[in-house]
Structure formats: structure tokens, C-alpha cells
Structure 1
Amino acid sequence: MNAQATNRPPPRSRPGPTLLVALAALAAAPGCVSARSSSGGGETTKPPPPTRTIRTSDIALPRGYVIEVVATGLNFPTGVTFDDAGHVYVTESGYSYGEVFTTPRLLRIEPGGGTTVVATGKNPPWTGVAWADGAFIISEGGVTEGGRILRIAPDGQKQTLVAGLPSFGDHHTNGPVVGPDGFIYFGQGTATNSGIVGEDNHKFGWLKRHPEFHDVPCKDVTLTGAALTSSNPLTPRDEDDKVTTGAFVPFGTQTQKGQVIPGKVPCSGAVMRVPVRGGTLNLVAWGFRNPFGLAFSPDGKLFVTDNGYDDRGSRPVWGNADALWAVTPGTWYGWPDFADGRLVSQDRYAPPGGPTPPTLLEAPPNPPPQPVALFAVHSSSNGIDIARDPSFGFAGEAFVAQFGDQAPDVGKVLHPVGFKVVRVDLKTGVIRDFAVNRGKDNGPASRLKSGGLERPISVRFDRTGRSLYVVDFGVMLMDERGARPQQGTGALFRITRAATAG
């Protein structure tokens, strides 16, 4: 397709991040949450639509910007990159929450929107792609065989740069991005929501496949001995079977106060790096929950988006925002005991009617930093890139793809959250809408019955810096059984200034 739309004036400025989180918390005060049903963007009792209609006129942008469709019919797309000649490539995940498995693929997007397969895999999800040193670098999530970083030549030949990443769990191997030092940087998500394996991990599918799996700290940690009891989903016929599980250990394993869990690399909840041709794996920083998007600013600073805790599992944490971090190497960023730069062991993070989350570590490895910005709770703020060309505008600001809430699995929301692209002033932390579906209500196009965005998952500027590409994962609804993704509904968009559109 080649449809274009010129859109409305710039959306109104948004409050700063602290106020945004405060307003979200007020709107979802415990009394309200317990009294009202959830109303997430994907929640439905109806089957997903058989097809997806796209109309770029249904997407609002600041005045002077245009959006066009580059490709449609993609199957769970996750990342986009460009080779030295400027050709466009996309990764298809091969897996979606909801335990839907397909084939991970690297596709070249041809003029007119057609696709050519460059490479395929068998260890999904492929969560992102970068171009470096004449080849593609792919983060392989590895729900079946463990996470890897792959180097794929233009002819499809594969080389494994990193293997054995702890990626069987809730979150996967993410990224990658090429640093100014020439290294490949990537994120590794945690196995669990908040440090303890529980029933929710069985619903995600992996506890049955890998009952021995758990989170791995990057450095030695000393435990408080806190442990939580849940039903045993591995023995469903025995309703009275209960198990008690501690932190950083397999399901059903207890821990003791003062017990030391040895750290090692690779590890959970971390940003790591590896030479572009392979070699020693290095820890950059840790204490993240799900460091999904990575981007370097023009002055060489690394920024990372981090998905906040959910209200689920044996140790639910309520009302925690997604974060944007400026990464200082060697620093611990707070997981599993801090949220928004604060201890989670306080009433503000207790689910309505539930207990306050217990502290898991006897002492934090370091005082955790404060986030650069806080996104809306459950917005699933994922892929990130930073504008560098003045002709596009907003040079030095970050653009972030918000996948959107997965309520009620992650916790209740009163209104849809996310489902758009926002921009962040890295100096002030102020967040503003950039690409958002038109209408008085927020949400994915399938909910609004429009032709706009569904679930933006990644953004990337092209090699010139004058075009912003937006990867849209496609339709993913939520019902009482969990995620219900719709294959073949993903899309790739391109946003440009009207003066540079072509």
C-alpha cells in the first residue's frame, strides 16, 4: 500500500511523569478497582476479527507529519532494521503470549510491500534485529532451547554469538542495538514477575515445560528467607496440594534467611554486551525486570525501557509504572525489591485487599537510581529509538512504542493504556503522544472499530534519520483464558515530515 494521511495539530502537552503516575493511581484507587470490572484495550468475550483493515487517516500525528503503510499481513512482527543500502528488514517473532507458536523469520520488505524470506529459525521468539558489520544481529528469545544472540549473513547463514541465556520464562532475550563502541548490547528479561516462581508462570506455559527454571542474579545476593505459598498447578487433580517457594530458586523450593544465591553471567533482568563477531559476554547493568528496548543517544548514553511489575503471581505488585532508565554501567536498578525507585514493601504497592509484597533481599546491591521517565502503568512501553536528524524534528528526544495493556492478566485497568507511540524529553522526563488513534477514547483499532494502530512494539529511525518506522505486532485480544493473538495482522508503518516524505 501507499496510502498517506496528513494529520491534526500536535496533541496537547502531557503532565510530567510523576503526575501521570499519580493520576493513574488515583483513578485506580483500591476502592474503585475492587468495585469495578477491568476494561483493558484488548479485553473481549468475542473471537478476534478474521482480518484487519488499515486506514492511516485514523492515526493522529503532530501537524506536518505523515504516516504511510509499508507492509501488511505480517505474522507477529517485532523489529525492523536497515542494511548498508537502506533496504528494510523485519523480524517475525514465531511466538506470542497465548502459547501460539509459528516460525520465526527475517524478512526483506520489497517495494510495494511484498516480502522475501532471508532466514528462518526454530527457537522463538525473535524479538528484534539490528544491522552490524555487514550482517543481521537477532535476539532469539528461546522459549524452547534458551536465549541466543545470532549473527545472520545476508545469504541466511547463521552464527551463534551468545548461547545459554536464561530465557525460558515470562520475559525473553530482547534488543539488540549496536553501541558506539561497536559492541552488541541486548536485554535479558526475568523469568518471573517479581522473583518467585508461581502459578502464573504455569499459565504462561513455561513452568510445565521447564519446572526447574528460575531467575538468576548477576551477582551474589543474600536473601531474607521470604517465601510464599500457592497451589501446585503441576498436580491439578490434587486441589489440596500446596507448595512454598522462595526467591531465585525453582518452584517448590524454600529458602532460608541469610542464604546466599551465587550470581553469574548470563543472568536475569540485565543488559549485557558482546563483540560484534562474538567473544566474551560482559555484564553492563542489572536489576531490571524486562529491559525490552535499548537505544543510544547522540552523545553515547544508553537508555533502556523497562516493563514494570504486574499484579499477579505469588508476589503481586500493584500500580508500578513502566520506566525509562539512563544506564550507568555496573549499576543495579532495583528489581526485585524496588519499583519506581522506591521499595515495594509498602502499602502503596499492595494489591487491593492483598498483602504488602515482602522484601526478598537483605540489602540492596546499591541504592537504585531514579528513572528518567515513568510511563503509564501496564502500558507495556517497549521499543525505543532517539531522534538525531533535525529535519525530522525533536532531535535528542526518545520515541517509544507502547504495546498496550494485557489486562486482566497483568492486573485491572479502568481504561485502555498504551496502544500508541509517545515521545520523551530526556532532559525533563515529560511524555507526549506522537502517533495515537483518533477519537475521544484511547485503545487499539480493533476496540475502536477503526483502521489505526493495534499494538506498536518497536520503533526505529532509518539510516538517514529522516523516517521513523513503527512495527505493529497486530491484533491481540484478552479473554478469560489469556492472550488471543491473531496471526497475519501485523504491519509496518513509516512516519516522515511532510517536507521529506517521498
Structure 2
Amino acid sequence: MNAQATNRPSPLRSRPRPTLFLTFAALGALAALAAAPGCFSARSSSGGGETTPPAPARLIRTSDIALPDGYVIEVVATGLNFPTGVTFDDAGQVYVTESGYSYGEVFTTPRLLRVEPGGRATVVATGKNPPWTGVTWADGAFIVSEGGVTEGGRIIRIAPGGQTQTLVAGLPSFGDHHTNGPVVGPDGFIYFGQGTATNSGIVGEDNHKFGWLKRHPEFHDVPCKDVTLTGAALTTSNPLTPQDKDDKATTGAFVPFGTQTQKGQVIPGKVPCSGAVMRVPVRGGTLNLVAWGFRNPFGLAFSPDGKLFVTDNGYDDRGSRPVWGNADYLWAVTPGTWYGWPDFADGRPVAQDRYAPTGGPTPPALLETLPNQPPQPVALFAVHSSSNGIDISRDPSFGHVGDAFVAQFGDQAPDVGKVLHPVGFKVVRVDLKTGVIRDFAVNRGKDNGPASHLKAGGLERPISVRFDRAGKSLYVVDFGVMLMDERGAKPKQGTGALFRITRAASAG
């Protein structure tokens, strides 16, 4: 273990800072103000990862984390290497997945770990096809989402003894976003998300920076159903021919880098596909499409009444078709519905000035016809907050039954676009009836940000949350320190942690 930790539960008396909830109108007004010449364009980016490197050993101090009155937090394990998910077997034993990969092109070994009393980790299984993005327990085994940057995405089943079986293979997961989830639905099926290859539908220079365009120059987004294109295409320098500074490439939507499209061209849909939620029987079988038109459906959770909710990372201000000022979303999923990617954001068309980068063009529409009119999100999270893992409270002993809890990984500025202050780096609570979002677990201090930015000992990058089998404790997976600069992500191995939040026995 390379992190110092305070393992004793620490009651926190001060409440988290209140969260500002923005309506669609308020978000539009804020975007218009920031897009105008002045403060936003003049100031440099100041994201949570754009900070002086922290000390080699991460300090973890639970007293630096504020919770609502009546809740306590404790450290379960430290020294984890890019942890992404947590689950529990039938006996309530705790297990964690380590990704095996991080943005910044850092490769390690994906692992499933059993967390022993005292925080010691025992390896249950290892893999060779990272990242492992999440895990759940179903039908006496572990179900893991294998992101597949090297061999393509998979859903795998791991027996308690470590034997592995592939339930789904060939998922389009070589790109920016990966195979996510999984979660067990009330019908007994395994539900999971599949992110898109690109930011907004067109392969570009940013995908070369992410590392995958060089490995897989033929890769691109795949629609779930047939789509008809406007023929919009964008021209950039060609990063695949760095020796020729004058070489340009023009690329359309849903095609490989350097491939043009025509107005009225139909791109055939198929399953598996990009930007979708899909499901498969718990023992394997036919893969079914649930819904599509997401950008990066990372977290999935079912409410007590059986409704599926999905967190979705919004567009970035990067690549050939940058989209400015777009929130992350929480969707209530209706099967068979298209949710708007790549032509809608926040439930509105992106082909309008409010989504144009400062000094840049308005994003062109890519689809000639819409599969359906996209619905509105249940809630809008802060722009670039990277709102990821989700679970929904179901036990009165914890409280807030029916509310969602969401882990916010935090901004990855400047890669995703400029921010004027750190965004995310906390756990928030969402009222699913009203869409109102409130801070739940957040680092203390007058400013927001990860512990490394605040020079404190609290949360770094929460990536997943999961209630235990009884619903009495909320576990928070913290990916660890990941710094950012103009060249990309700089993750720090061995700085991940697992926390547990419970309600004090005396709380009403």
C-alpha cells in the first residue's frame, strides 16, 4: 500500500456545500454569457487535474470529506491500481475490479480482487484485454465489463475460482469510450453500456492523441439502426502521416478516418453498436438492443420500481466537430428509443450557435432524418463533471429511498475543453422525481476539487458507487490521482481507494 489512511470512521458535522441546480433556460443563459468575448476566452483553463504534482504517497484523511449530518465515512482499502467497480457475493464479501488501463495510454493488468478485512486484497482473476470498467454479481458468479482497447469489448463471466467464460464478444470498444456497466435487471438479464468511438461522430486528430487511431485506423462509430447522413465532412491535418506536414484528411460521420460521405448516404445499422445500452442472458445467448443514441452510457442502475436509469457523459470541446458547453446527463431509459447522439445535446440540436466553441464554427448536423424526437434528460450534471457510476437507495436505514447517488470522476481539462475551476470530484444525490442535484460527499474547503488540488486528504476521482446487498452502506470507488496537461492524462498508479459511507445509528 502506498497511501496513508485514517481507517477509523469519522463523523462529519458540517454539511456539504449546496449544489446549484440549473434549468435548461439557465444553462442556455450561462452558455451565452460565457461564449461572449471577455472573461471565459481571456482566462486560462484551471481544471482539477491541472495542478502541481502531489507528494509520491497519497494522503487519505476521512475528516477532509464532508457529508450530510448523520452520515460517516471510512476507508475500506487503499493502494488500488486504477479501481473501477465494486460488488458483493451472496455472503456479502467485497470485491473490486482494477481497470488495467488509464487514459494517458498507461497499461497495467486488469484484476478482480477480494477485499479482505483490514483492506488486504487477494487476486481472484486477471485479464489481458483492459480496461475492466465494472463488475456485478449474478447467478453465483462475477460479471465483468471488459473495455477491450486491445481486442474489442466483451462481457465476461468469472467463477469464484477464477475460471472465465465470454458471454459477449466483438463489442465496438477500441475507441475513446469503452464497454461499461454491468448491472442485473429485474428480468434477470445483464444490462451494459457501450460508449462511442469518437467525441461527436467523426474520427479526428483527437482520436490519434487518445492512442487508438494509430492502432486501429479502420475503426469508427457503428449505428444501431440505419441512419441517413447529411454528407457533412470535416478536414484536418493527417496525424497518420506526420512526415508530411501538408497532408490533410476529410472525414464524414460513421466512417473510417479519411473517408468522405455523401448527402443521403445510408449507413447500415447493426448490433452490437456504438453509444448503446444492450442486454444479454446471465448465462450468455442472444444480444439485444435496449436503447441507443447515447455518447458514453457509463453507469446503469434500476430503481426499486424497475425503471432503468443511465448516466451519460456529454460532448467535449475537442476533435473535428467540437461541441461547447454540454452537460452530462441522467436518462430514464425507455426501450427502443434513440437519445440524440450525435446530433442532440441536453435534449436540443447541437447545430446552433450556443454549442459553437469560442471563435469556432457551429457543429454541423450529421443526420438527414432523426430516428425519433429525443426525450429530455431527468437531470443535467455540471459540464465536464464526468458523472459516471450510479446506484439508487432502496433501504430506509440509509435514507433517501428512491434517490440516485452518482460518482463524479471530475473534469479532464484541458483535454475535454477549458474550465475556469475544477468540476466534479465528488458524489452527488439526485432526486429522480424533480431532477434536483445536491452534493453528498465532497471535499471540505471553500473551493471544489480533488484532494491533490486542495493539498488535502479527501476524495480524488470517484468513479463508481454501489450499495451493499442489504442497502445499508454506500461504497465509493476512487480511481486515484490523475493529473492533466496539454499532452493528456498523467495517472498515478497505486493511488486508488475504496470508501464506505453509512448512516449513524442515532440518525433519524
The alpha carbon displacement at 1:32 in A equals 2.3
8 Å CA contact 1:4, 1:57 repeated in 2: no
Which residue pairs with 1:8 in the alignment?
8
- Residue 162 of structure 1 pairs with residue 163 of structure 2: no
8 Å CA contact 1:17, 1:431 repeated in 2: no
The alpha carbon displacement at 1:498 in A equals 1.1
8 Å CA contact 1:4, 1:69 repeated in 2: no
Structure 1 residues 270, 16: CA separation in 2 closer, same or farther (over 3 Å shift)? farther
Which 5+ residue runs of structure 1 have no aligned equivalent? Answer: none
Structure 1 residues 178, 247: CA separation in 2 closer, same or farther (over 3 Å shift)? same
8 Å CA contact 2:16, 2:66 repeated in 1: no
The alpha carbon displacement at 1:44 in A equals 3.2
Summarize deviations over 1:97-121 as a string: whole Å, max 9, x none.
Answer: 0000000000000000000000000
The alpha carbon displacement at 1:6 in A equals 13
Q: Secondary structure at the match of 1:30?
A: coil
Q: Partners in 2 of 1:2 and 1:180 — Cα distance?
A: 40
Q: Partners in 2 of 1:387 and 1:495 — Cα distance?
A: 12
Residues matched between the structures, number:
501
Q: Partners in 2 of 1:205 and 1:298 — Cα distance?
A: 40
Structure 1 residues 393, 463: CA separation in 2 closer, same or farther (over 3 Å shift)? same
Summarize deviations over 1:154-184 as a string: whole Å, max 9, x none.
Answer: 0000000000000000000000000000000
Q: Partners in 2 of 1:153 and 1:179 — Cα distance?
A: 20
Structure 1 residues 101, 288: CA separation in 2 closer, same or farther (over 3 Å shift)? same
Structure 1 residues 10, 29: CA separation in 2 closer, same or farther (over 3 Å shift)? farther
The alpha carbon displacement at 1:51 in A equals 1.3
The alpha carbon displacement at 1:14 in A equals 12
Q: Partners in 2 of 1:125 and 1:178 — Cα distance?
A: 20
Summarize deviations over 1:202-241 as a string: whole Å, max 9, x none.
Answer: 0000000000000000000000000000000001111100
Q: Secondary structure at the match of 1:279?
A: coil
Q: Secondary structure at the match of 2:382?
A: strand
8 Å CA contact 1:311, 1:317 repeated in 2: yes
Structure 1 residues 415, 257: CA separation in 2 closer, same or farther (over 3 Å shift)? same
8 Å CA contact 1:419, 1:436 repeated in 2: yes
Q: Secondary structure at the match of 2:354?
A: helix
8 Å CA contact 1:14, 1:431 repeated in 2: no
Taking structure 1 as the reference length, what is the TM-score of the superposition? 0.95
Summarize deviations over 1:362-418 as a string: whole Å, max 9, x none.
Answer: 011000000000000000000000000011010100000000000000000001000
8 Å CA contact 1:401, 1:422 repeated in 2: yes
Larger deviation: 296-305 or 30-39? 30-39
Q: Partners in 1 of 2:17 and 2:36 — Cα distance?
A: 20
Structure 1 residues 216, 115: CA separation in 2 closer, same or farther (over 3 Å shift)? same
Structure 1 residues 111, 10: CA separation in 2 closer, same or farther (over 3 Å shift)? closer
Structure 1 residues 455, 478: CA separation in 2 closer, same or farther (over 3 Å shift)? same
Q: Partners in 2 of 1:104 and 1:204 — Cα distance?
A: 19
8 Å CA contact 1:109, 1:115 repeated in 2: yes
Structure 1 residues 77, 246: CA separation in 2 closer, same or farther (over 3 Å shift)? same
Which 5+ residue runs of structure 2 have no aligned equivalent? Answer: 27-32
8 Å CA contact 2:205, 2:237 repeated in 1: yes
Summarize deviations over 1:431-463 as a string: whole Å, max 9, x none.
Answer: 000000000000000010000000000000000
8 Å CA contact 2:9, 2:72 repeated in 1: no
Structure 1 residues 392, 180: CA separation in 2 closer, same or farther (over 3 Å shift)? same
Taking structure 2 as the reference length, what is the TM-score of the superposition? 0.94
Q: Percent identity?
A: 91
8 Å CA contact 2:189, 2:282 repeated in 1: yes
Summarize deviations over 1:224-265 as a string: whole Å, max 9, x none.
Answer: 000000000001111100000000000000000000000000
Q: Secondary structure at the match of 1:162?
A: strand
8 Å CA contact 1:385, 1:400 repeated in 2: yes
Q: Partners in 2 of 1:353 and 1:285 — Cα distance?
A: 35
Structure 1 residues 2, 498: CA separation in 2 closer, same or farther (over 3 Å shift)? farther
The alpha carbon displacement at 1:29 in A equals 5.1
8 Å CA contact 1:424, 1:430 repeated in 2: yes
The alpha carbon displacement at 1:89 in A equals 0.1
8 Å CA contact 1:291, 1:307 repeated in 2: yes
Q: Partners in 2 of 1:227 and 1:322 — Cα distance?
A: 26
The runs of at least 4 consecutive aligned structure 1 residues that moved more than 2 Å come to 1-33
Which residue pairs with 2:126 in the alignment?
120
Summarize deviations over 1:15-42 as a string: whole Å, max 9, x none.
Answer: 9999745799845755322111000000
Structure 1 residues 284, 292: CA separation in 2 closer, same or farther (over 3 Å shift)? same
Structure 1 residues 2, 82: CA separation in 2 closer, same or farther (over 3 Å shift)? farther
8 Å CA contact 1:4, 1:68 repeated in 2: no
Q: Partners in 2 of 1:147 and 1:393 — Cα distance?
A: 36
Which residue pairs with 1:53 in the alignment?
59
Q: Partners in 2 of 1:16 and 1:497 — Cα distance?
A: 19
Q: Secondary structure at the match of 2:38?
A: helix
The alpha carbon displacement at 1:2 in A equals 16
8 Å CA contact 1:60, 1:436 repeated in 2: yes
Q: Partners in 2 of 1:262 and 1:104 — Cα distance?
A: 34
Summarize deviations over 1:313-346 as a string: whole Å, max 9, x none.
Answer: 0000000000000000000000000000000000
Q: Partners in 1 of 2:176 and 2:114 — Cα distance?
A: 29
